[in-house]
A and B are shown apart, each in its own frame.
Chain A
Amino acid sequence: MSDLTRLSASALASLIASREVSAVEVATAHLDRIAAVDDRVNAFLHVDRSGALEAAEAVDRGEITGPLAGVPIAVKDVVTTKGVPTTAASKILEGWKPPYDATIVERLKRAGMPILGKTNMDEFAMGSSTEYSAYGPTNNPWDLGRIPGGSGGGSAAALAAYEAPLAIGTDTGGSIRQPGAVTGTVGAKPTYGGTSRYGLIAFSSSLDTPGPCARTVEDTALLHAVIAGHDPRDSTSIQQPVPDVVAAARLGATGDLTGVKLGLVKEFAGDGSEPGVVAAFRESVEALVKLGAEIVEVSCPHFQYALPAYYLIAPSEASSNLARFDGVRYGLRTGDDGSRSLEEVMSLTREAGFGPEVKRRIIIGTYALSSGYYDAYYGQAQKVRTLITRDFQAAFEQVDVLISPTTPFVAFPFGSRTSDPYQMYLADLFTIPTNLYGGPAISVPCGLSEGLPVGFQIMAPTMADDRMYRVAAALESAVGTFTPPAL
């Protein structure tokens, strides 16, 4: 079959389970597709052909069964994979092979899912375009001259280019949802603590959340169910049952939202979204109303401070987390000629190994945490975080979920936002509040603007991930899915 790469994960799983196709055929079809198109897309930093085929053979031998057994997957390069290069798209980790698997990778392996390779991203997940990858940007399959979003642009582009049916992302301020939006794919950020951070190369530990990416809402839910759940190796992992996201997605797909209350955030209305984004969003809201949903306007007065608070909290945590890259235990070491001190070697190593956005954030974080500035910046940002959380809690007393566009603009051309870093930060205007609160959110394609995909965001209360899947699947049933032009 030549069209295996076009099928959903759920369809592939059925074909493999009924032995109509083998897992090896499915893996091979995707590996061949990667070989054919990835020189143009650059979604992958590393392809693990032999590892993927070995895992597929185990499924074909009947050693592993399960809802996604044999369905291949791409994994963002910030997630450790034992013996397979993991760089976080940084020069400082070039060639590093982790000695252990992340918990979510262990779960993928246990589910019999062949890992095709590691996907491109902004260095250490800092960015909204993949232009900050040390290995060159990923190109958006909708228009190769435009960004695929970030930081998880490689995972999203791999889906849109039919190089993989499923992918893993991580979302600290929107790094799953914004790439999903601009590539016409689905991406979900689970409740913080709902998926394990063990084996994620840490960026901002109080915000980092791994999650599922796919081309359909049901596939996203199926993957969510595989990776979610308590992990004793992550001290912020939640000890509660995972909401039944798969059942919720299937319920939503019936297209009935009678009695569901959707909250429109008043403060998001005037926030500089492109007209085409606003138009696609409004049409989708009308479609949801036709399915029986009720629209309620809610006020979240502190959301306007989410972006500033995030760009203090995340860099502060990053400046601490990235101290581990010191040229001692792993990765690059530069300038060790026998004459230089440890401190000099460390400084030269970090200078050579980190790219400009990572350096900017380390410096901002160091500033925000310094004595004299701590209360005004980091301390104040943490208080604002409390107020944003209270805004969410008050809103969820009135409505079931909140809705907004995922990002204010469609995929932009390369180079258009790199000279002024703050312009890049604006891509995450609508996604960041959720990260500060810790709740789940999903981006689902809702239309096109000038031929480019627009994403619709649904935000739910903490540990009510199922609610957003229901609404997302209902929207998908009304507006359909979106296919990029042939590569």
Chain B
Amino acid sequence: MAAISREEVAHLARLSRLAVTEEELDRFAGQLDVILQSVARVGEVAAEDIPPTSHSVPLTNVYRDDVPVPSLTQDEALSGAPDAYEGRFRVPRILDEEE
């Protein structure tokens, strides 16, 4: 049985904000199925009582000292923006016109 269907790949691509083409969906569905069947082997390991490792460094909540330091200027921060307007990032409309 396939681990993942073409429809699921299409759904995941939407969630990932990837406007994939029909041709890509055909190709990815088969490839992702092979990959997911292979990685599903982690399920063979009996690990109910094992704590998860998110990170190899045993540190939590590392804070810096609360001292202001210079940061990027507004011009520097906007220097790579595809579109900027009056010192701000300019984006396409977020709400539909009727909303």
- Please tell me if the beta carbons of B64 and A420 are within 8 angstroms of each other in the complex: no
Across the A-B interface, give the 10 residue pairs with the lowest CB-CB distance, nearest first: A438-B56, A382-B52, A330-B80, A333-B82, A383-B47, A99-B76, A347-B19, A351-B19, A308-B39, A385-B53
B2 within 8 A of A: no
Query: 1/0 per position for A356-385, CB-CB distance to B under 8 A?
Result: 100110111011001000001101111111
B87 within 8 A of A: no
- Please tell me if the beta carbons of B17 and A343 are within 8 angstroms of each other in the complex: yes
* B52 proximity list for chain A (CB < 8 A): 379, 382-383, 385-386
Please tell me which one of the listed residues B9, B20, B31, B56 contacts residue A389 in the complex, with CB atoms under 8 A apart: B56
B68 within 8 A of A: no
Given the contacts A342-B93, A386-B53, A462-B56, A97 and B41 also touching, CB distance less than 8 Å: no
CA distance A354 to B28 in the complex (A): 14
**Extra A-B contacts (8), CB below 8 Å, given A98-B80, A363-B18:** A99-B76, A305-B44, A331-B82, A360-B35, A362-B16, A363-B32, A364-B36, A439-B56
* B54 proximity list for chain A (CB < 8 A): 206, 382
Which of the four size classes fits the interface of chain A? 35 or more
- Please tell me if the beta carbons of B94 and A341 are within 8 angstroms of each other in the complex: yes
Given the contacts A236-B57, A319-B16, A382-B54, A331 and B42 also touching, CB distance less than 8 Å: no
* B64 proximity list for chain A (CB < 8 A): 232
10 pairs of residues in contact across A and B, judged by CB atoms under 8 Å: A308-B40, A326-B17, A331-B82, A336-B92, A344-B19, A366-B12, A370-B12, A383-B45, A383-B51, A425-B35
A348 within 8 A of B: yes
- Please tell me if the beta carbons of A336 and B83 are within 8 angstroms of each other in the complex: yes
Count of chain A to chain B residue pairs whose CB atoms are closer than 8 Å in the complex: 184
Given the contacts A193-B56, A329-B89, A383-B47, A359 and B38 also touching, CB distance less than 8 Å: no
Interface residues of A in 307-356 (CB under 8 A from B): 307-309, 311-312, 319, 323, 326-333, 336, 338, 340-348, 350-351, 354, 356
A102 within 8 A of B: no
* B41 proximity list for chain A (CB < 8 A): 305, 308
Most buried by A among B21, B83, B91: B91
- Please tell me if the beta carbons of B53 and A328 are within 8 angstroms of each other in the complex: no
* B50 proximity list for chain A (CB < 8 A): 383, 386-387
CA distance A344 to B17 in the complex (A): 8
Binding site for B on A (CB under 8 A): 96-100, 192-193, 206, 232, 235-236, 238, 302, 305, 307-309, 311-312, 319, 323, 326-333, 336, 338, 340-348, 350-351, 354, 356, 359-360, 362-364, 366-367, 370, 376-377, 379-387, 389, 420-422, 425, 436-439, 462
Instruction: Write the nearest CB–CB distance from B29 to chain A, whole angstroms.
Output: 10
CA distance A350 to B47 in the complex (A): 37
- Please tell me if the beta carbons of A341 and B96 are within 8 angstroms of each other in the complex: yes
Most buried by A among B9, B44, B80, B89: B80
CA distance A236 to B21 in the complex (A): 39
- Please tell me if the beta carbons of B57 and A193 are within 8 angstroms of each other in the complex: yes
Please tell me which one of the listed residues A350, A382, A438 contacts residue B57 in the complex, with CB atoms under 8 A apart: A438
* A351 proximity list for chain B (CB < 8 A): 18-21
CA distance A193 to B54 in the complex (A): 14
Given the contacts A350-B18, A364-B36, A420-B34, A342 and B94 also touching, CB distance less than 8 Å: yes
CA distance A302 to B46 in the complex (A): 11
* B44 proximity list for chain A (CB < 8 A): 305
Interface residues of B in 68-99 (CB under 8 A from A): 72, 76-77, 79-83, 89, 91-94, 96
CA distance A350 to B24 in the complex (A): 14
* A343 proximity list for chain B (CB < 8 A): 17
- Please tell me if the beta carbons of A341 and B76 are within 8 angstroms of each other in the complex: no
- Please tell me if the beta carbons of B42 and A328 are within 8 angstroms of each other in the complex: no
Most buried by A among B4, B41, B53: B53
- Please tell me if the beta carbons of A340 and B92 are within 8 angstroms of each other in the complex: yes
* A236 proximity list for chain B (CB < 8 A): 55, 57, 59, 62
Instruction: Write the nearest CB–CB distance from B20 to chain A, whole angstroms.
Output: 6
Instruction: Write the nearest CB–CB distance from A106 to chain B, whole angstroms.
Output: 14
- Please tell me if the beta carbons of B31 and A360 are within 8 angstroms of each other in the complex: yes
- Please tell me if the beta carbons of B45 and A312 are within 8 angstroms of each other in the complex: no
CA distance A336 to B27 in the complex (A): 28
- Please tell me if the beta carbons of B24 and A359 are within 8 angstroms of each other in the complex: yes
Please tell me which one of the listed residues B14, B35, B89 contacts residue A311 in the complex, with CB atoms under 8 A apart: B35
